[in-house]
Amino acid sequence: MNYLTHQTNFGKEFDHKILELKKLIQNIYQVKNEIPISESEPIRLHSSTLDSSSSFACINAILENRITMGATVKAYENLYSEYLGKTHKVLSCNSGSSANLLAISALFQSGKLKTGDKVIVPALSWSTTVFPLVQYGLIPVFCDCNDIDFNISNKNFERLIEIHKPKALMLIHTYGCPADMDAITDLCSKNSLLLIEDTCESMGSDWDNKKTGTFGDASTFSSYYSHHICTLEGGFTCFKNNDDYEVAESIRSHGWIRHLDKNNKIFYENPDLDPSFIFNYIGYNIRLSEPQAAIGLEQLKQLEDFVRRRKIAAARFISFFENYQDIFQYIKPLEKANSSWFGFPLVLNGKLRGKRNELRKLLIENNIESRPFLAGDFTLQPVVKSFKHFKDSSLTVSSSIATDGMAIPCHQDINEENISKITSVVDKFIKNKILT
């Protein structure tokens, strides 16, 4: 619905000032980056990926009157579809949480999921992976994770299929590490399960050289500040099936169907309604803006480098923690898994079990941030009492993560000095707690 074309050409003087602005922003970032980092500056859990090119792209879009969803958003979606190998059609939205909501809403409103259907979801989870299921009257069935890569336990998954006869799996690729997609896709295929991949914390990872987010009927990604790219807030929902994509496209924008081909029968069935204002789905407004998409186009150019730098940091941590495997568990990607390392999660084990809070206290005293590992065993959260659910009788690994799991900084900007400080503090903790 474009009643009038917006002005985008403002003359040579405008173009000249835009170039001046671009150089000024580059200079501002140069000054910012040259400021020495104070020794008292904390080692942050996450670091912004935004740079001068992203900031300029955002401001330039605003100045050129590219505000609400339009051509820049479409270009951003197309670029990400190409990145995934064009296996899925891509819709951007305003957050990774909304991406999950949009995926479930589209599958529900298309009739592929129905009220009362059971959906398996990892117990090691995040709130907005679970909540869209509940909001659409679906019943979460919580499954334990394994103690190797902390992804869903194939053994528990298979057992829950037999017991509960679910309709779908809402899978999480944990902390950047791809799950065992050979076994999971095989079980989903054999049992006619819909597969939804929550890939919000695992952008840039792949399984057997195939991008995560390209195995499922639907998949989701996030471009929140702490994730692999940043568009301020933002996300993607991707669909293998074009009909699901068209339903989701309406849901994303108020339930409107104005994007449909004008030969679609619904327009003939409603001749008295303005074709630009027909609503056929229960919708939301969870669109991405043009300035955010402009940022995203710049960020996607750098995604592979961001992931490369995260891998270097993770390798450095592994070289330290592999010497303490009796007291620390950490993610060990399977042979075909190429992790993009959202962070570096740990589970305190053996003689360190029960001492997580002490370690986190020592880290913060040394200006090092840490956090719980996802939400631990989500079935322990008080909100779970408010909705119907099922869970495996034994959530052993997820429960251990709830009490002894944590994550330390591992991102594209962490440097060797930071890593050395973190491992030094951890080493001191080990010696104080075990050797004394």
CB-based contact 59:280 (threshold 8 Å): no
Which residues, 6+ apart, have CB-to-CB distance to 151 below 8 Å?
122, 145, 172, 173, 174, 177, 178, 179, 180
Helix (H) or strand (E) holding 294: helix 290-321
Position 422, amino acid: I
**CA-based torsion, 280, 281, 284, 289: positive or negative:** negative
Helix (H) or strand (E) holding 320: helix 290-321
Active site (annotated) includes residue 16 = no
CA distance 374 to 106: 26
CB-based contact 146:153 (threshold 8 Å): yes
Which residues, 6+ apart, have CB-to-CB distance to 108 below 8 Å?
114, 136, 138
CB-based contact 369:44 (threshold 8 Å): yes
Burial tier of 260 (Cβ tally within 10 Å: 0-12, 13-18, 19+): middle
Beta bridge pairs of residue 341: none
CA distance 94 to 235: 6
Beta bridge pairs of residue 171: 197
CB-based contact 213:88 (threshold 8 Å): yes
Closest CA to 304 of 412, 151, 165: 412
Point out the catalytic residue in the list 46, 88, 173, 227: 227
DSSP state of 215: S
Classify strands 206-207 and 210-211 as parallel, antiparallel or unpaired: antiparallel
Active site members: 227
